[in-house]
Amino acid sequence: MDRIAETFERNKQNGKPCFVAYVCAGDPDFETSLEVCRTLLERGVDVLELGVPFSDPLADGLTNQLAAQRALENGMTSDRVFALVERIREFSQAPIVLYTYYNLVFARGEEAYVRRAREAGADGLLTLDLPPEEAEGLVRLSRENGLKNIFIIAPTTPEDRVRRIAESADGFLYYVSREGVTGVRADLADTLASGVAAIRRATPMPLVVGFGISTASQVRDVGALADGVVVGSALVNCIKDNLGDREAILAALRNKMDELLA
């Protein structure tokens, strides 16, 4: 089953963009993280992007760095991330993409990582620091095992390179709306519309936009341009602001989701 393709096609038919939510797996602990994922999916998330905790998350701003640190300090490992995916699969068939770094894939071995991710029920990998020129083995193994590889496109990526990236990608492409790391921003980049248009000229692959999106108006504006909208730090902040109180975390997430999808 290609959950990613089915989800994008269904939303396209319904005339709405996919809502992609990022949270760090295991933040602040395994059981709370499971309930966070359940709450997000029940509240309207179409695609769940699970961050795999890593000690050197170079693409992440402070909010998501601290989330990874909390998860690691509470015993989260790659094996427990896979276990979390398995638990989510008990109540949801929504697409799950693992947002990870290549060190974690390499340490386990590409083939072993791909097979375990797919066995657990993951649908895709977004390996932040792996360019397509270095990803041939991982892409081949993923395609053989039915796992999608999502690649990032930056505002500075020229159109000929967009085409090269699209050749290696499956599922969808992820456009970083602005230069820099993850984190809440007050406004959208001025170059967003032109950047999306350039990608559209280069490839018909579904396109999501992330990094810095945190308000309902931003979700609407991005959704009018792209096939999907990614919200991360604004959701992670709901966890950070209510540490020690699981019910408060879940209530904050419900309120934030209702606000974003209003």
Mean pLDDT throughout 217-243? 96
Residue bearing tokens 């050749």: 167
Task: For the chain, give the percent of residues with pLDDT over 90.
Answer: 88
pLDDT, tens digit, 9 for 90 and up, residues 85-144: 999 999 999 999 999 999 999 999 999 999 999 999 999 999 999 999 999 999 999 999
**Total of domains in the chain:** 1
Per-residue model confidence (pLDDT) at position 211: 86
- Identify the CATH number of the domain in which residue 195 sits: 3.20.20.70
Per-residue model confidence (pLDDT) at position 190: 79
Mean pLDDT throughout 200-228? 94
Averaged pLDDT score across all residues of the chain:
94
Structural domain including 134 reads 3-260
Query: Which residue(s) pair with 19 in the sheet?
Result: 229
Can you tell me whether residue 158 is helix, strand or coil?
coil
Task: For the chain, give the percent of residues with pLDDT over 70.
Answer: 96
Q: Which of 258, 229, 259, 223 is nearest to 15 (CA)?
A: 223
Per-residue model confidence (pLDDT) at position 182: 52
Mean pLDDT throughout 220-238? 96
pLDDT, tens digit, 9 for 90 and up, residues 146-194: 999 999 999 999 989 999 999 999 999 999 986 544 545 556 767 899 9
Per-residue model confidence (pLDDT) at position 167: 95
- At residue 36, does pLDDT exceed 50? yes
Per-residue model confidence (pLDDT) at position 107: 96
The pTM of this model reads 0.95
Mean pLDDT throughout 63-72? 96
- At residue 246, does pLDDT exceed 90? yes
Task: List, by residue number, the catalytic residues.
Answer: 49, 60
CA separation for the pair 240, 254 (Å, rounded): 15
Q: Side-chain half-sphere of 169: how many Cα atoms within 13 Å?
A: 25
Per-residue model confidence (pLDDT) at position 183: 45
CA separation for the pair 183, 211 (Å, rounded): 6
Mean pLDDT throughout 218-222? 94
Strands 47-51 and 18-24 come out as parallel
Q: What is the dihedral of CA 229, 106, 239, 189, to 10 degrees?
A: -30
Mean pLDDT throughout 214-220? 93
* 35-44, 49-58, 180-189, 233-242: range with lowest mean pLDDT: 180-189
